[in-house]
Chain A
Amino acid sequence: MMQRTRRAILKDLGIVASTPLLGTFGLSLFAGEEAWAQSIGGKPLKFLSISFPHGAVNGDWEPKRLPDGSLSLLESKILAPLEPFKNRLAIFSGLGHETLKPPGSLSPTSTHAGLAASFTGLATGDSKGSSASIDFAMSQMLFKSDKVLRVGCFLSYNAAQGLDDVPSEICYSGAGDSNRLSVIAHPQKSFDRAFAAFTSSAPTPEETAKKQADENMNNLLRKQLARLEKRLKGDELNVLLKHRETIEGLGKGVNAFTCAAKPVITTSGFTAADASMAAVTQRQADVVAAALACGTVSLASIEIMSRSHGSYNMNTVITSDPLSQIKDLSPLLNSTNFHNDVAHKLSTDGNFNTEEQKAFNQSQRWYMEQVAYILAQLDKRGVLDSTLVMIGTEMGHPQHLGDAAPFLLAGGGFKMGRWFEHKAEKVQTYQHRCTPHNHLLVNVAQRFGLNVNTFGDTRFQGGLPADTRGQMLEPVL
């Protein structure tokens, strides 16, 4: 059978250059496509998306920049659990779902659509990602279907009882109304899926050869640049010196890892109750981390809870988590309808420090404890630096405002340890003209080799511009 070029495949997907990620396509089309994700430290770079619901209150969640330029997350009311990973995080403030706003408008077309837009960059409603989500686009282009694992931590679907796959809240194929993808709800099933045919993940001869070839090429590049530098001076010489410096920066590697034997992971110990929310989440995280480390999975997504907290009792969720460090819980967390009783009661007129805000921040802080747990598992298994982790939520202010939504990257693939403060012009207390988060999706897609210049919404071209401090997101190998 004639092999199709990447160009042809991209064209089929409708994602060449400046076209949106749309398409009705199936995994089978790419069954013969070898994984060619960009390597990092001689290993393929992997991707993990993590979503948590309901945004964060602008002004409460951001880190603090210390006088020496370093970051502290400890004073953030939400990000504090991520302090141990601050040098392996890229934190983005000032991004927003500008895609939901018609030209010239400050109001989104749908206040709920951010849920679908956070990873798609385009949405028509809270259940309709009208283009493919970033993980799906990459799974189609870069990874074999058996290297993809999507797990959910949805108590409302009762993992212990049903074990059935459930519709994702954030992963979309972009193929019309029925474009939700499935996620696996039970950790045991996730494990079975990931390790069914596992033997060993020692480097292949091809991977070793590729790493050697990369080193040869970099040496020749340095040699050619040095030859040209001899005939230049002043600013003209500086152009090439900067180029050489860039190549050196790209060459930073990470520790290699292997996974010689099938890992042993506990996939039980939870019941169908709010009290098991932490256990479900952490067992799913164990499976995902092991699967990424052992190379049985190259792309994964973890959805922590379903949209907008549903009807969970967050007090039970938090107090039942033996790892949680959250103290002095607000009585408002002891609600059976957190979404309406707390989140929607937050002020949008700048009335800070209400009890609702305290309760909400504690809820969001618990999600960050789960993110920290996931990152720790990746790190423990030596795969954090070779995994690009994208962490997002569907809104900024929990009154469904798409402005100033928190986004984070973690792990490898880009230079981390930075807080990017993007332009977000304040219009009202919690309303801004933000930098479209689509640019970040472009950065991530391009980092994995997708030849795209837009993601979701074609109005927003290219990766993120420099932030208000002149910082650019910088890829590393």
Chain B
Amino acid sequence: MNLIRVILVFSVFATGCIRPSSENKRTPSQTEQTCAPALQSYTQLIEPIVEKRCIKCHVLGGSGALLAAFQAGDAAWNMAVFSRLKGGNAEAVFKKASNQESHAGGKQLEDSDLDKIKTFFTAVSQCAAPLPGGPQAALCNGKPLPRRVNLLSRLELKNTVREIAGIEVDVNIPAASAVEDGNKNPRLAFSNDQKSRTIDPNLAFNLKQTAATIAKDFTPAKREALGCSAEPLTDSCLQTLGARVYRRPLVAEELTDLKTLGTFANVVTYLFQSPDFLYRTEMGSETSGETMTSYEIASALSYLLTALPPDTALMEAASRGALHELAARRTQAERLLAGATTANEALQKFFVEWLEIGRSETADKVGTYDGKAVFAETQAFIKKVLSEDGSLETLLTREEGGRLGILQQKAFLASHSNNNSTAPVKVGKTVARNMLCLALPPPPANVNNELKDTPDLKTTRAKLAMHTANATCASCHARIDPFGFAFENFDQLGMSRMVDNGEPVNTRVEIALGLSIDKAYESSDDLIRSMSQSQELTACFDSFFQQYAYGTLSCEAQTLNPNTSIREYILNLISSDRFITRI
């Protein structure tokens, strides 16, 4: 309970007093302004019930299945879990927990508890956005990020070298591994996630070799543009080259150090393996306090929106210290987002990694399948959505070639299927985990994924019925499989079909998970349209976009509706104090 109070107090205190000042102070969010009664009623009325009764079964490893389990002593988490039960329907929650509707744990609530639950959910309904905390938003606690260094991603390094040296290199900087622990937020395998930033000997060696390659192949035109055509190298050359590589001006000592290296080849070999090139720093300076330096902000903006180093205009704005100002930052971001191809490449990469559709490009499939064309088609689709200033709703429901939104694109369906059959579990898992942030534990270690050939069970869906027949499997697959079965009218290539192994396909599913989208659906069309309007989708997207933007599992909930343009959402994100603050 005390934790909630601390959060509330700190939230008000911090937004008013402690946060380092930028030119334009952030005002408390709508959520913070309107959710105080909900937070108060939870701590006073609900948390005692949860800690004393619910948590006995609805805990990780316990017998009770919920979207996410309660955690002893974590009031913020538990509040968010509770707020999502039965889609926020107090009567339904009471009916279940009081055993009026069959409840494995028997009667846990007294009649008087109904009023408490109603009070809480009424207060929750006044919030402008979902409560902070819980499966998708527990991480969105607004906690400031620490001072840190961010290793360039594979794409960022490739693009940066091309911009400076005019050549193509490709260093296999690994993406983070996806993490599922069954309760906390899943961590997706974004290629810029800083969980994987350790420079081990293999990576260090590859980087060293790449630096030598850059020195060897640096194009004469780029060298000339830097004023470095002739040797001995001039101070001007070293300062210009150094500033491009470090994305900030050199300090005097660094210039002296570069001079000791002598040749252009040695200087380039050193610069492109130096930490100030490999890492994008977010450390601020002795004078900037807890705010990133203007040059660091320029890099943060540029790499997020374009996967490129800051261009001349951004560096010029940084040199004036202008990027601490919200308006200037937003203006620069709008300019970068308007640059058609580069911005799209960086943002497309987020969507490709969020929905894990990259594997469609290289997938081996039984049947006529051109992975490159399939993937390119979806890239073009994402580009259209972005260029049309589309929203999440647009992404999910824009019709193209008879297909509804990105989930019916061949690339999505082919990415989440086997080489010779559909894989409803893979589709379902991606929708449940990546789009709705449902908590999914990892599969059991000894799980057998082979579907037996049984003469009586012809369709993939029929074979997967064992998931619901077996109680152990059902505890998780009830949250996964329905989202996949809805897409069974598409085969492993993503092509439309009416039959599976000679039997008619069945796409009818019922979602009964305590979500706002709970109901029966005839097909993926209905499900997609419903999801596109759901608060679960927007909150989940918000947390994952921020994982991508910050390269770590940490975020501050942003206001986002299904029809908010993705562009506007991003502009709001970079306008926040949190974007430029590191403590």
Using a CB–CB distance below 8 Å, which chain A residues touch chain B?
A: 5-7, 16-17, 36, 38, 103-104, 213, 216-217, 220-221, 223-225, 228, 231-234, 236, 239-240, 242-243, 246-247, 249-250, 415, 443, 446-447, 449, 451, 453, 458-459, 461-463, 472-477
Contact = CB atoms under 8 A, between A and B. Distances in A.
Contact of B281 (A228, A246, A447): A228
Contact of A239 (B149, B212, B213): B149
A453 B362 contact: no
A104 B420 CA distance: 9
A463 B174 CA distance: 11
A451 B213 contact: yes
Contact of A7 (B168, B198, B266, B270): B168
B205 A5 contact: no
A64 B283 CA distance: 48
A137 B273 CA distance: 26
Interface string B202-213: 101110111011
Nearest to A458: B362
A289 to B, nearest CB: 26
Interface string B258-288: 0011110010011001111001010110000
Given A7-B168, A221-B273, A240-B149, A459 B364 contact: yes
Contacts of B147: 231-233, 236
B199 interface: yes
A415 B283 CA distance: 35
Nearest to B199: A243
A224 B270 CA distance: 11
Nearest to B285: A231
Given A104-B419, A232-B148, A217 B201 contact: no
A250 B205 contact: yes
B217 A216 contact: no
A473 B269 CA distance: 24
Given A234-B146, A475-B202, A6 B217 contact: yes
A220 B78 CA distance: 50
Given A220-B261, A242-B198, A243-B198, 18 more contacts: A6-B217, A16-B170, A213-B261, A217-B261, A224-B276, A228-B149, A228-B279, A231-B147, A234-B146, A239-B149, A239-B198, A240-B149, A246-B201, A250-B201, A415-B201, A451-B210, A474-B201, A476-B201
Interface string B398-441: 00000000000000000000111000000000000000000000
B148 to A, nearest CB: 4
A216 B204 contact: no
Contacts of A476: 201
A9 to B, nearest CB: 10
Contacts of B172: 453, 461-463
Nearest to B145: A236
A317 to B, nearest CB: 40
B173 to A, nearest CB: 11
25 contacts: A5-B167, A5-B217, A6-B213, A104-B418, A216-B266, A220-B257, A220-B260, A220-B261, A221-B273, A221-B274, A224-B274, A228-B279, A232-B148, A233-B146, A236-B148, A249-B201, A446-B209, A447-B205, A451-B169, A453-B170, A453-B172, A463-B172, A472-B202, A475-B201, A475-B202
Interface string B189-227: 000000001111110111011101100110000000000
Nearest to A463: B202
A474 B213 contact: no
A449 B275 contact: no
A223 B253 CA distance: 11
A7 B167 CA distance: 8
Contact of B200 (A104, A232, A472): A472
